[in-house]
Amino acid sequence: QVQLVESGGGLVQPGGSLKLSCVASGSIGSIVAMGWYRQFPGKQRELVATLSNMGYTNYADSVKGRFTISRDNAKNTVYLQMSRREPEDTADYYCYAAEAGEVYWGQGTQVTVSS
């Protein structure tokens, strides 16, 4: 089992920056990738960014060049640095961790982009 706890959500003005954190605990040795999804009201979750243990990254087209995913293995933490935020980025953001045959989710953190 893997437990994930996100933090860092909140209100940010358009064009501003925000950094989300996700701390993993439990059987973290089996994790092969971590990342972030987001969910808009009434929509399914969509991938924002992913980072594999091999260092491979993948981003949604809508966030390329604006968001950066990174990981601190010593802290068992994955980050999502969000820059040049747009109102369309307003959503609930969920951290995930994947191992063979299983995906774990955090509880989500809300991000609102508004002036």
Q: Which of 21, 37, 108 is nearest to 72 (CA)?
A: 21
Among positive and negative, which fits the CA dihedral 110, 10, 112, 61? negative
Is 34's pLDDT higher than 90?
Answer: yes
* 82, 19 contact by CB (below 8 A): yes
- pLDDT of amino acid 66: 94
The mean pLDDT of 95-115, rounded to a whole number, is 93
Task: Give the span between the Cα atoms of 50 and 34, in whole angstroms.
Answer: 6
Task: Give the span between the Cα atoms of 5 and 23, in whole angstroms.
Answer: 5
3-state secondary structure of 19: strand
pLDDT band at 84 (very low <50, low <70, confident <90, very high): confident
* 33, 98 contact by CB (below 8 A): yes
pLDDT band at 37 (very low <50, low <70, confident <90, very high): very high
Bridge partners (DSSP) listed for residue 71: 78
Is 86's pLDDT higher than 90?
Answer: no
Give the pLDDT confidence of 47-81 residue by residue, as tens digits.
Answer: 999 999 999 999 999 999 999 999 998 999 999 99
